[in-house]
Amino acid sequence: MDKEKYLGEFEQVILLATMRLGSQAYGKTIRVLLAELLKRDVTVGALYATLERLENKGMVTAKMGEPTNERGGRAKKYFEVTAKGHQSLKRSKDALTLMWQDLSLRLVSNGEML
């Protein structure tokens, strides 16, 4: 049995957002992307706690940018998904795809089963 744990849903979402944003992935842009695409309002604390955990697991790397005036002279922290992060995402995606195979959902619309 593989001892490595699967990524959590929020971890996957953050890794995917980081990949989508490429070289522009930092706290604010990740939050804005999640709000726009998923309509999910994430607090900055929850985001950084997850990014820190992913960094400790070696799934993302971080580097500090230059300080800017619009941020009160503070630097941005840019994130990039590592090869290990890509591998974990693939593993999680494969697992979900496998579990979804041959299944269909019975959704309820206006009180009637579809």
Which residues contact other proteins by CB under 8 A?
26-28, 31, 43-46, 48-49, 52, 64, 67-77
> Minimum Å distance from CB 56 to other proteins?
12
Q: Are 43 and 56 in contact (CB under 8 A)?
A: no
> Of the two residues 32 and 38, which places its CB atom closer to other proteins in the complex?
32
> Minimum Å distance from CB 78 to other proteins?
9
**Tokens 């699967």 belong to which residue?**
6
> Of the two residues 77 and 91, which places its CB atom closer to other proteins in the complex?
77
Q: What is the DSSP letter of 58?
A: T
- 16: burial class by Cβ within 10 Å (0-12, 13-18, 19+)? middle
> Minimum Å distance from CB 95 to other proteins?
29
